[in-house]
Structure 1
């Protein structure tokens, strides 16, 4: 049996975290991976991973959820992906002219995401979404970007980050060019477009998130964008492949003008994509008579091994029915967690939300409001039980036994959760400061 959370030392991880903070701002290269997102002194530093498991530098093994911030959906070191990458490594990774791999990867992508006509690859999602925004502004001649307020993150670039609490360094004049609209409310969105009549270049949103889009919503939004002359952009960084092999647009049958993909596309390798209608995408090319758009031009955007990884991922999803497997695993996990929470008397406090392939959890306090303190308590117990789970987002590498083991650990954590609720104060079970939101104005 795993030791209690307060008896789970991670000396090498703690030392490595100190070294990270001394050299890397924030102690990680992605804020969502920062040690402030984990309980005090329980932020393991990873040594390696295989399948659904990772090992920290202290030698502890964990079942891992939300792998690579949802990017490693096939599991770590997936054989088909690793072999595809290995074949390219000895052939060179970057040349002065396009590699034939770029053609093959584009063909494979467009054969899978059939709603798009052209694609351009990049190394991260922010570059792809910003390219979509720039292209929309260029083709419409309009300055404003309308972002859906239900999605917490679109890009590291100023047009979006300026709207968050971490807006330091972004000029107010830039932020004023971004407006928001609510998800699943066509009337309110039309009001935004009418208020800024003829000024909004694009509507950008995640087509689905923790709730399914209401019937007719995406179709209505498509019609609304057409009526107001806006470019409709789907951010499919998360929904891409997890909702269907062709993303949310393939599942719901609504075709955006532009869409962006990343995360699962490379199974951990750095590759993202901007895809869309030829008429728009070609404005960033050489075969049109209009003003050129500097769309995407990245030195490493088409590294051969990353594109080989993407092709292997796309093939694996289609041939092995990965999306269906992710849903089946997620459904088993969600049912087990809900049963464990109900059995411990915390079913109203520990909530599992989202599509089965993209589960998150919410921790509520005695007032039934989201609580960082109870999240900290829950995470401490999971980590001590060998489950690393900032979310319950599954990978296809998880076995039924892995899920059952996770549910057992959740049940033990829920028993502690109940004790804290009965005491009316989780502080004795925190052993330090609570975890913190990623987006906050002060460190």
Structure 2
């Protein structure tokens, strides 16, 4: 694919910076996550391809921050949404669609007994924390050291980007390590009778559970009277339509869902055991918990999209497609990087349906400069993505183009490794972590 440059994208990015703090509505989508002057501003997408304002076409990975599993503009979802739009989308009373979508969810995720919908993952993870505290009468939260749980103070206050958040917001949050049962046991010993819940991703792009780990976490929570909360916002509909909990056979008390359940349309869900969820309802004698109550939580477009996604996942065929294509991509990349002698620097990691990649420097350590170089060379060759997170819409042709692009990018990467620096290879400064305490090193004038 011939690349036409980024002139129009840079013009639109400047307009975005003038109107929107950071130039994007999500930090992970920011221009600082891309090589300088090479952050495409998109106009549309179809399947696994996207187009920018300069009319460049890319094979996209990351797929809407992992929200797209069926492909951009997936026909049945779009048709379901179109049909719903003609009948109105927001009312003063529940709709039949709310009941139908809830019943679809509970059939799809049989470990859940009740569900409540919202619009974003932060709302449902925070609701899970609130509910666990109400059920147990405790305040401490044991949160796994994983990248992201919520935009709310209780979690963001634990990151470097914590300006404006009082220290009290995180005083009752303690961290433990994934696949490290001892670190969680130590928390329960240090805070006896104080931990309301354990919240964690069941698995991630970086790590799968070691044998017995999830079962032991479940047993610890039961023994100490804490609720187990699984964050399935990424893993749901990517590991399985019933989530990673179904893959590994461990049932939480509460689970949080989002992203792919709407194939890009805004919908999230808190699900769990009836005894707990009813605390936010009308069939309880306990003090009522303000569980979730949002104007747009039951908005019809998201619910209609979800119902169409459920239909597409009747036999989990999209997951099998993602796994197969992801394996082909990982195998192709491994062969090329081994051939070019950069297999220890550039490699894919994670489940085939949710691949990320490393970008290590000459010292074998993660490098933002070498990451920027890899992104730069992939962009020039028609591949857009901060990861290799795939969708069921990626075709063999898309995979072949990506592998060809990776070969060209890896050749440049090899020369930079041999030189011991990205100077002369990378245009502009390195990329930077999305959540950091200052705009530097990618501050703009």
- TM-score between the two structures when normalised by the length of structure 1: 0.98
**Residues 311-330 of structure 1 mapped to structure 2, 5 A cutoff:** 311-319=307-315, 321-330=317-326
- 1:107 aligns with 103
Q: Secondary structure at the match of 1:180?
A: strand
- 2:246 aligns with 250
Distance 1:404 1:166 in 2: 39
Q: Contact 2:240 / 2:316 at 8 angstroms: preserved in 1?
A: no
- 1:193 aligns with 188
- 2:443 aligns with none
**Residues 400-419 of structure 1 mapped to structure 2, 5 A cutoff:** 400-419=396-415
Distance 1:99 1:304 in 2: 8
- 1:119 aligns with 115
- 1:378 aligns with 374
**CA deviation profile, 1:11-62 (whole Å, cap 9, x unmatched):** 1110111111111111111000000000000000000001100000111100
**Residues 18-29 of structure 1 mapped to structure 2, 5 A cutoff:** 18-29=14-25
Distance 2:371 2:179 in 1: 28
**CA deviation profile, 1:107-145 (whole Å, cap 9, x unmatched):** 111101111000000000000000000000011111111
Distance 1:16 1:198 in 2: 54
Distance 2:66 2:289 in 1: 31
- 1:333 aligns with 329
From 9, 13, 17, the equivalent of 2:9 is 13
Q: Contact 1:146 / 1:180 at 8 angstroms: preserved in 2?
A: yes
- 2:155 aligns with 160
Q: Cα distance, 1:319 vs. partner?
A: 4.2
- 1:64 aligns with 60
**CA deviation profile, 1:275-334 (whole Å, cap 9, x unmatched):** 000000010111111100000001001111110100111110124611111101110111
Q: Secondary structure at the match of 2:410?
A: helix
Tell me, yes or no, if structure 1 residue 359 matches structure 2 residue 355.
yes
Tell me, yes or no, if structure 1 residue 274 matches structure 2 residue 270.
yes
Distance 1:320 1:308 in 2: 19
Q: Cα distance, 1:422 vs. partner?
A: 1.0
Tell me, yes or no, if structure 1 residue 170 matches structure 2 residue 170.
no
- 1:231 aligns with 227
Distance 1:325 1:415 in 2: 30
Distance 2:420 2:130 in 1: 51
Distance 1:352 1:2 in 2: 26
Distance 1:413 1:431 in 2: 14
Q: Cα distance, 1:167 vs. partner?
A: 0.7
Tell me, yes or no, if structure 1 residue 204 matches structure 2 residue 199.
yes
Q: Cα distance, 1:2 vs. partner?
A: 4.3
Instruction: Kindly report structure 1 stretches of 4+ aligned residues shifted beyond 3 Å.
Output: none
Distance 1:124 1:332 in 2: 32
Q: Secondary structure at the match of 1:350?
A: coil
Tell me, yes or no, if structure 1 residue 36 matches structure 2 residue 32.
yes
**CA deviation profile, 1:373-395 (whole Å, cap 9, x unmatched):** 11011000100101001100001
Q: Contact 1:117 / 1:278 at 8 angstroms: preserved in 2?
A: yes
Tell me, yes or no, if structure 1 residue 85 matches structure 2 residue 81.
yes
**CA deviation profile, 1:139-178 (whole Å, cap 9, x unmatched):** 11111111001x1100000000000000111101111111
Q: Unpaired runs of 5+ in structure 2?
A: 440-445
Distance 1:256 1:405 in 2: 41
Distance 2:2 2:426 in 1: 17
From 308, 313, 316, the equivalent of 2:304 is 308
**Residues 253-264 of structure 1 mapped to structure 2, 5 A cutoff:** 253-264=249-260
- 2:136 aligns with 140
Q: Contact 1:82 / 1:309 at 8 angstroms: preserved in 2?
A: yes
Tell me, yes or no, if structure 1 residue 181 matches structure 2 residue 151.
no
Q: Secondary structure at the match of 1:428?
A: coil
Distance 1:131 1:194 in 2: 26
CA RMSD, Structure 1 to Structure 2 (Å) = 0.9
Q: Unpaired runs of 5+ in structure 1?
A: none
Q: Cα distance, 1:9 vs. partner?
A: 2.5
Distance 2:253 2:311 in 1: 25
Q: Contact 1:357 / 1:393 at 8 angstroms: preserved in 2?
A: yes
Distance 1:48 1:332 in 2: 26
